[in-house]
Amino acid sequence: MHSHHLSDSLLLLVFSKLPISLHLLTSLVCKRWLFLHGRLLRSLKLLDWHFLHSGRLFARFPLLTHIDILRSCLRLSPHSPGVFLTFKPFSLPLDFAHQDASFDMLPPDMIYQGLQLIAQNYPNLRRLAVFGASEYGLASLADTCETLQELELHCCGDLSLKGVSGCTNLQVMKLTARIDGFFTCVVSDIGLTILAQGCKRLVKLQLCACEGSYDGIKAIGQCCQMLEDLTFQDHRMDGGWLAALSFCSNLKTLRLHSCKAIDSNPGLDEHLGVCPMLEELHLERCQLRDKKSTNSLFLVCADVRDIVLRNCWGFEDDLFVLASVCRRVKLLYLDHCSLLTTGGLESLLLSWKDLQRLTVVSCRKIKDSQVTPELASLFSVLKELKWRPDTRSLLSSDLEGIGMWRKGGKFFTSLKS
């Protein structure tokens, strides 16, 4: 039987069973198969804006639900030397001959028209990533795409967020206000309040290079009562914002990434409050040199279960011990915390009675030879242990002598170089 005797629905069923690696080859057999393969695709990263503007995108892929148009929103120089500077989630080419970025953003009107086309052709859109969207472009999405659940906005300011306020079913939002040297927008308490009042079903929110203060974070906590995951990356918040976190009554995961400071003026301890449902605290590439703000952070996170610290600068023993207020910690993960010592680690671990899992990786001042019998005894009862404080680390023969290899849980791991 020839393929033209088979219905479209039957061919789609057959194609859906094929490995993804074969989709391109089978789509080249004929125009019909090419069209049918386009109907299978649900997610796409667009690199060429003309493909959207000409309408070929919608004819070729009529059923998309996830679209990333970040790269296509940038107009690249034809003389780009092919050297790229990478910012998650996209890379920008640099023209080092002129020491300027060899790109500029498409005109706002063009991006607005593109968003209108996307809204008209993909009413079932669920996820969109876009660069430089205006209030009116986002409003067209909000009016038409009622199923939109995830939105990633770069180069977005307070006024643009007026358009997002109509996305009442939005659950995931990533908002990048600026990348120094490339683009600058301002997201302040005004924008955060607009976002909070319009998108009350948010579950996950990531704020990158956003400004604001206590009032903006308070509005998010009071309005977005389903919020479970909150990330601050390179934040520009005014002093006192930490105290507003206690209004996030359902928050389960708090992440701080690449922050030059936690809170410049956290205020009195009794005014901070506690996040009652918090389970995870992640700190990565943050400056933790200030004792007051670090102490305030741990007070707000006093009920946390998991603490993950990666590449945090200035995090010495006297700051690490402040985490002792977190009495319910079950997991501690330390990666490239080079100022912590074995004594500092021990003083805190022995105060945590519920600790079950420990990972220590690339912390060069933590030495095997300095592990005391008390600390070794704690290791022996952990459910999981990953111990490699430096590249030459070996658990000492003294630890083997106490039989901790036999006592450890089934997930116990020893890494040796």
Instruction: Return the pLDDT at 99.
Output: 42
The backbone torsions φ and ψ at residue 293, rounded to the nearest 5 degrees and listed phi first, read -70, -35
Locus of tokens 């604001």: 212
Residues 383-407 pLDDT 10s: 999 999 876 555 443 444 444 444 4
Residues 6 or more apart whose CB falls under 8 angstroms from that of 52 comprise 46, 69, 72, 114, 117, 118
State both tokens at 114. 């593109």
Average pLDDT of the chain, as a whole number: 84
The model's pLDDT over 323-373, given as tens digits with 9 standing for 90+, comes to 999 999 999 999 999 899 999 999 999 999 999 999 999 999 999 889 999
Report the alpha-carbon distance of residue 106 to residue 69 in Å, rounded.
12
DSSP state of 349: H
- Distance between CA 115 and CA 368 in Å, rounded? 58
Q: What is the pLDDT of residues 6-26, one digit of tens each?
A: 665 665 566 565 566 555 556
State both tokens at 335: 């990666």
**Mean pLDDT, residues 76-103 taken together:** 48
Q: Which helix or strand (DSSP H or E) is residue 208 part of?
A: strand 204-208
CA distance 73 to 67: 13
Query: Does pLDDT of 321 surpass 50?
Result: yes
Give the range among 74-88, 158-172, 279-293, 383-397 with minimum mean pLDDT.
74-88
DSSP conformation letters of 235-303 = --PPTTGGGGGGG-TT--EEEEES-S-S-S----GGGT---TT--EEEEES-B---HHHHHHHHHHTTT
pTM of the model as a whole: 0.83
Greatest C-alpha distance within the chain: 79
